[in-house]
């Protein structure tokens, strides 16, 4: 199976155009710790390392090291 590019682009375009400007002072909710893109980065890197050494679709997009995981 191949990714559905048109669907992705549709989502992208429709969401971007649907955005009403959100003023800086309206971003209180977005700034809350629980709304962070990654609220627990330490744990995320650990989980990514575990998944990465157990699954074929290696997790990280950029070089993070991580070793061989040859066990």
Binding residues (CB under 8 A) for another protein: these are 1-3, 8, 11-12, 15-16, 18-43, 45-47, 49-51, 54-58, 60-68, 70-71
Residue 64 CB, nearest approach to another protein (Å): 7
Closest Cα to residue 64, out of 53, 36, 55, 35?
A: 53
Residue 7 CB, nearest approach to another protein (Å): 10
Residue 32 CB, nearest approach to another protein (Å): 7
Helices (H), the chain: 5-18, 41-52
Rounded-to-integer distance, Cα 15 and Cα 8, Å: 11
């Amino acid at each position: 199976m191949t990714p559905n590019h048109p669907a992705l682009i549709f989502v992208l375009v429709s969401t971007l155009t649907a955005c009403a400007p959100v003023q800086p002072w309206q971003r209180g909710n977005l700034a809350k710790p629980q709304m962070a893109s990654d609220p627990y980065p330490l744990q995320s890197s650990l989980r990514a390392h575990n998944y990465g050494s157990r699954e074929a679709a290696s997790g990280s997009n950029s070089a993070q090291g991580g070793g061989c995981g040859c066990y």
